[in-house]
Chain A
């Protein structure tokens, strides 16, 4: 079953006086349970593609469907709700809220989705247990290491049971050993049926993926 589809995706934007063609007609299909790695040199358009697939940017041309819903037909409120409930995001720099502790960071998307406090607390602790951070549940984000922050970010991405997890360079800020932990976590998640789309420079991470999309100059190479 296809979860996420992109057809004829193009993205151009102005950078000072120049027009940058970040994507030049990209087609992508992601099926349920897929583990897709998008690789390529810096500036090839892989992060842009991920942002378009995640509905946080709009294509200059082409269309994207998530679970049969065309994203270009949604207004901001509906698109935000879709991102909240159907997608999970993991960023290179973790982007946890430093003023909240690990549990509260994981609870945040559930609170936004209207999950009752007791239920979201229970699920947040369950997810922290899953990523191996139950003992760090009450620590502020600033009190965690890089690897721990990324695991909390993964737990946050899983909070509303999304259809797809989109990860942008999830090991980019981590050392080799810590990156391996994230790699293992992704392998475990995919093994349990989670659909993953990962943008990476990390060959080990790409090697774990079931399918690798190689990009160059805004196009898919293979």
Chain B
């Protein structure tokens, strides 16, 4: 009976109820977005690192992957050392450098490109979209991203010209190579519209002028199982004293330190949205209860218990919250997608990265917190209704 009564009470003032529901929907959408932002950054980062199954990164001492232009010397020796570890399933060397390209259509101006040197047999950096992958010793082929294919005006099968880093003395590139486009790939850590190209490691080392010392930027290491990751990290730290060895969990921790302001922002905005929900529901129900004090006093007079009055007011609060929350989830998911589009278009962020990750636990957490908040927000008006003095209220009603 309290349920029917409570829900129908909300229909007495449909416009006011609709406004409150809209307010709760906006507040819960914001809460959902903030919950997604708070946990999503780390989850998305971890997913991104693990997308090809490489759980460990080896970088120059004191750096994080692609954090600086520092490189590791003697890549071949390092790869051999790491491969000799019994817990290691694979090692993917990576050279990252700035190079230049010449448009297929010709012209004097050069296109600045981001160059990756990879080992096609063991790589954790890209996914082939079309065409063919490079062969292990393919020093005549190149892989392009969509953006670099557009920038160079190249298609699969075309020949493109890549120019190495400029010699500061000569103000001219140290090396120029004509390469055949084998395929178009998605580079997993590229920001949006990043014009990247990939060749086998030795060729990119020559373009980067690092071939003499056999330098690479990062080594991606795949452990045989997740249980092997920590022991492998510990062993590699001992064996590779001059390098930084981090598991994904370590990198996520570093990432958390850097993104702490995002988490604080999410916490503050999430708390504000909860406060707005409490105020909206509390205000609406307090107004409603005050309008109906005579009715409530009558019910108390005919023997309706305080508990039933409390239940009825809480039903109203919960009904408002449920409807508002349902709309809020839909609104939150839509706005999260929109906000994600904006934020991931910032330079320097991988395009595959997400700020707002709609994982079930996040959505469930946001819903439960909103529902609980809604129910709690009804407590004061419910208490007000239950404590209304019967005789004075009826007397006031009669005059």
Contact = CB atoms under 8 A, between A and B. Distances in A.
A206 B339 CA distance: 74
B4 A95 contact: no
Interface in B4-61: 4-5, 8-9, 11-12
Contacts, number: 77
B132 interface: no
A187 interface: no
B1 interface: yes
B294 A100 contact: no
A76 B301 CA distance: 11
Interface in B375-399: 390-391, 394-395, 397-398
B5 A97 contact: yes
A108 B1 contact: yes
B302 A99 contact: no
- Where chain A touches its partner, the secondary structure class is helix
A84 B304 contact: yes
A109 B8 contact: no
Contacts of A171: none
A80 interface: yes
B3 to A, nearest CB: 11
Interface string B198-217: 00000000000000000000
Contacts of A77: 305-306
A57 B391 contact: yes
B301 A112 contact: no
A81 interface: yes
Contact of A99 (B12, B298, B306): B12
Contact of B302 (A57, A84, A92): A84
Interface string B132-167: 000000000000000000000000000000000000
Interface string B303-322: 11110100000000000000
Contact of A89 (B295, B302, B306, B397): B302
Interface residues of B, number: 25
B391 A51 contact: yes
A85 interface: yes
- Where chain B touches its partner, the secondary structure class is helix
Most buried by A among B9, B390, B397: B390
A132 interface: no
Contacts of B391: 48, 51, 56-57
Interface string A94-126: 010111100010011101110000000000000
Contacts of A21: none
A112 B303 contact: yes
Given A57-B390, A112-B308, A89 B301 contact: yes
Given A57-B390, A99-B9, A104 B4 contact: yes
B182 interface: no
Contact of A97 (B295, B305, B397): B295
B103 interface: no
B305 A112 contact: yes
B284 to A, nearest CB: 16
B298 A91 contact: yes
Nearest to B9: A99
B5 A100 contact: yes
A93 interface: yes
Nearest to A108: B1
Contact of B303 (A81, A91, A93): A81
B5 A83 contact: no
A173 B298 CA distance: 17
Contacts of B5: 97, 99-100
Interface of A: 47-48, 51, 54, 56-57, 76-77, 80-85, 87-89, 91-93, 95, 97-100, 104, 107-109, 111-113, 156-157, 160
4 closest A-B pairs by beta carbon, nearest first, are: A84-B303, A57-B391, A99-B8, A95-B298
29 contacts: A48-B391, A51-B391, A56-B391, A57-B391, A76-B306, A77-B305, A80-B305, A83-B301, A83-B303, A84-B302, A84-B305, A89-B298, A93-B397, A95-B295, A95-B298, A97-B5, A97-B295, A104-B1, A104-B4, A107-B1, A108-B1, A111-B1, A112-B1, A112-B303, A112-B304, A112-B308, A113-B303, A156-B302, A157-B302
